[in-house]
Structure 1
Amino acid sequence: MALSREEIAARYSKALFEYSYDANVLDEVHDELNVLLQVAKANPEIIQLLSDPILSKDEKRTFLDTFTTGTSDETKEFLKFLVEYQRFSDFIDIIEAFDVRYNKAKNIADGIATTAIALQKEELDKIANAYAKKYGLATLKVKNKVDPSILGGVVLQVGDIRIDGSIRTKLQEIREQLLENKRGETIEH
């Protein structure tokens, strides 16, 4: 029975995490693979080339050596392993799953701050630091999403936690209170 992409990503990312953790190079491997991940996403032909069944493993290893110049031996060995076992087509899924494991181990979270206008980096950092401190995170990485319909304020989404401090929501709450008060007055008369 063939494994699903999720199962492959889970197994290989776990092996990579444990391997780099045991070798005491977890942070280095994480950083290197994320750079390579961005390069691979920007140049999908790299994944195609290293997954191509027509090319020999030696040709793939030669290309891989140029692709991984300057990276640690652990990163190089893992990528060679993916080529050897014909799993390079799963590279992106594996590294994204590895990032999830890494972030969990390092107490790092990702979030989205939705605002009516774009925020400066300093403002995003301030939001991230306040949230991280309140919820006991080592780091919160926040991206900004602009949605003028919220009118103002911030809606912060981190995992399944949503903090809605938008003006639109505040106005809606005030409206509902006024309507509730009006209904209560109407019933009493």
Structure 2
Amino acid sequence: MAVAERLYARALFRAADEKQRVDAVLADLGAFAEAVASSPELAAFLANPQVDRSAKASVLGELAEGAEELVRNFLRLIAEKGRSGQIPAIHAELQALVDQAQGRVAVELTTAFELSDDEAAAIVKQIENASGRTVEATRKVDPELVGGLILQAGSLRVDASVRGRLERLRHELVTR
């Protein structure tokens, strides 16, 4: 994550926290970030440095009509500062800040085969006990793992898969 994105997300988080509107701001910015991510035309328009910043601010203001006031003002501000192409990244950083403040951690659990709900719940419970935080897990299946699992929480990655172990072993053999 770039420093600018982190700074903008922190500023928005503080403003939303002061007004006790964190959840509403996060939801509205998330919806907007999703719209940008799903529309290549909009993403290209916002990222284009040749488009006048005030034109971007005007378009963002119109698109954000009905959104939380903090979000509307924020979108205009980042457009004027030339950062409108970074909306999805700023949203991701804001999500991380909200999760941290609320004692949550988002984890992606990748396994070689589909886990039952009980198996997934047991793994999530172990992570919650170890971290002391509430875990929101998404599950993914990658048959190429052969067995085991990979946990991804932010920049932390724990690879306990058979494929990962084989790759580490291969690397050790090659470097000796």
Quickly name the TM-score band, shorter chain normalised. 0.7 to 0.9
What do the CA deviations read for 1:59-84 (whole angstroms, capped 9, x no partner)?
Answer: 43442233223311111111011112
Tell me the TM-score normalized by structure 2: 0.73
Tell me the TM-score normalized by structure 1: 0.69
Does residue 113 in structure 1 map to residue 109 in structure 2? yes
Return the alpha-carbon distance in structure 2 between the equivalents of residues 148 and 21 of structure 1: 43
Bigger Cα Rg: 1
Q: Which residue in 2 is equivalent to 1:94?
A: 90
Q: By how many angstroms is 1:124 displaced?
A: 7.6
Does residue 134 in structure 1 map to residue 129 in structure 2? yes
Matching of residues 39-188 of structure 1 within 5 Å:
39-57=35-53, 59-119=55-115, 122=117, 126-127=121-122, 129-135=124-130, 136-151=132-147, 154-159=148-153, 160=156, 162=158, 164=160, 168=162
Q: By how many angstroms is 1:161 displaced?
A: 6.2
Return the alpha-carbon distance in structure 1 between the equivalents of residues 45 and 119 of structure 2: 38
Return the alpha-carbon distance in structure 2 between the equivalents of residues 63 and 125 of structure 1: 44
- Seen in structure 2, the aligned counterparts of structure 1 residues 144 and 78 have a Cα distance that, compared at 3 Å, is same
Q: By how many angstroms is 1:127 displaced?
A: 4.6
Q: Is the 8 A contact 1:37 1:95 kept in 2?
A: yes
- Seen in structure 2, the aligned counterparts of structure 1 residues 46 and 161 have a Cα distance that, compared at 3 Å, is closer
Structure 1 residues 83-92 or 10-19, which shifts more? 83-92
Structure 1 residues 43-52 or 122-131, which shifts more? 122-131
Q: Is the 8 A contact 2:9 2:93 kept in 1?
A: yes
Q: Is the 8 A contact 2:110 2:149 kept in 1?
A: yes
Q: Secondary structure at the match of 1:139?
A: strand
RMSD between aligned residues: 3.0
* Gaps in structure 1 of 5+ consecutive residues: 173-189
Q: By how many angstroms is 1:28 displaced?
A: 1.1
Return the alpha-carbon distance in structure 2 between the equivalents of residues 15 and 129 of structure 1: 32
Q: By how many angstroms is 1:54 displaced?
A: 4.9
Identity %: 16
Q: Is the 8 A contact 1:124 1:144 kept in 2?
A: no
Q: By how many angstroms is 1:51 displaced?
A: 4.4
* Gaps in structure 2 of 5+ consecutive residues: 167-176
Q: Is the 8 A contact 2:53 2:81 kept in 1?
A: no
Does residue 36 in structure 1 map to residue 32 in structure 2? yes
- Seen in structure 2, the aligned counterparts of structure 1 residues 67 and 132 have a Cα distance that, compared at 3 Å, is farther
1:24 pairs with 20, 23, 44, which one? 20
Q: Which residue in 2 is equivalent to 1:186?
A: none
Return the alpha-carbon distance in structure 2 between the equivalents of residues 110 and 134 of structure 1: 15
